[in-house]
Structure 1
Amino acid sequence: MKDIQIFSKQYQKEMGWEISEENFEKSRASLLNNYMLLTTEVAEVAEELRKAFNITASFAKEGIPEEKAFELAKEQIKEDLGKELADCLAYMLKFYNFFGIDAEDSFYAKMEEVRNRKNKDIVKTK
């Protein structure tokens, strides 16, 4: 993760896509713009999931068992879903880099925090 964060920072600079640090107003505008772009990419992830569910339903109508239909649908959206998730990650890394947060350390610390929560949801297993 550290390597991808370093790559992202260099790539953002090379492409001229860094979040502005010129002054408060430009930083605020740049942060809000990048936040809107991130939410757009998250919506595109939702579209890929919707597509998978629709493909699954279509295959199931043709008589393919639902589990097999879903596996086929997942395979069909896999590449595009990966691209949309990569877009989300790129925008998230812009925020990590702007605020000087180590993405890997932040991730593991948060997962440990969640692991130790007292009010965790109970997950039923079959």
Structure 2
Amino acid sequence: MKKLQEFSKQYQEEMNWQIKTEDYERTKSSLLNNYMLLTTEVAEIAEELRKAFNMTNTFINEGMEEDKAFEIAKSSIKEELGKEFADCLAYITKFANYFEIDLEESFYTKMEEVKKRRNKDVGLQR
């Protein structure tokens, strides 16, 4: 993850896509703009999932077995879904770099915290 964050930082500098820091108003505007762009990318993940579910239902209605239909649908969105995840990751690393957060360290710390929670939803997936 550290290599990814470093690559992201250098890439964003090359493209002049880093969060602007000239003054508070410019920084605030840049952070909000990047947050909106991130949420747009998250919505595009939802759109790819919707495509897969719709395709699955179409195949099932045509008589295909459910598991096979879903496997075909998953395969059909895999490439675009990967691109959308990459877009999200680019924005997440941009925020992490701006706030000087080590994503790898934060990830493992958070997962350990979740594991130790008293009121876990045992057996439920997030």
- Write out per-residue CA displacement over residues 89-120 of structure 1, whole angstroms, 9 at most, x where no aligned residue: 00000100000000110111111111111111
**Distance in 2 of aligned mates of 1:4 and 1:59:** 39
**Distance in 2 of aligned mates of 1:111 and 1:122:** 15
**Distance in 1 of aligned mates of 2:122 and 2:104:** 27
**Where does residue 98 of structure 1 map in the other structure?**
98
Q: Which amino acid counterpart does residue 106 of structure 2 have in structure 1?
A: S
CA RMSD of superposed structures (Å): 0.8
**Distance in 1 of aligned mates of 2:112 and 2:122:** 17
Question: Shift of the alpha carbon at 1:69?
Answer: 0.6
**Where does residue 8 of structure 1 map in the other structure?**
8
Unaligned runs of 5+ in 2: none
**Distance in 2 of aligned mates of 1:61 and 1:44:** 26
Question: Shift of the alpha carbon at 1:88?
Answer: 0.4
**Distance in 1 of aligned mates of 2:85 and 2:104:** 17
Q: Which amino acid counterpart does residue 67 of structure 1 have in structure 2?
A: D
Unaligned runs of 5+ in 1: none
**Distance in 2 of aligned mates of 1:92 and 1:25:** 21
- Counterpart check, 1:119 vs 2:119: yes
- Write out per-residue CA displacement over residues 65-106 of structure 1, whole angstroms, 9 at most, x where no aligned residue: 111111110000000000001000000001000000001101
Alignment of 1:2-41 (within 5 A): 2-41=2-41
Query: How much identity, in percent, do the aligned residues show?
Result: 66
Q: Which amino acid counterpart does residue 65 of structure 2 have in structure 1?
A: P
The two structures have a TM-score, normalised by structure 2, of: 0.96
- Write out per-residue CA displacement over residues 22-79 of structure 1, whole angstroms, 9 at most, x where no aligned residue: 1111110000000000000000000000000001001111111111111110000000
**Distance in 1 of aligned mates of 2:116 and 2:64:** 42
The two structures have a TM-score, normalised by structure 1, of: 0.96
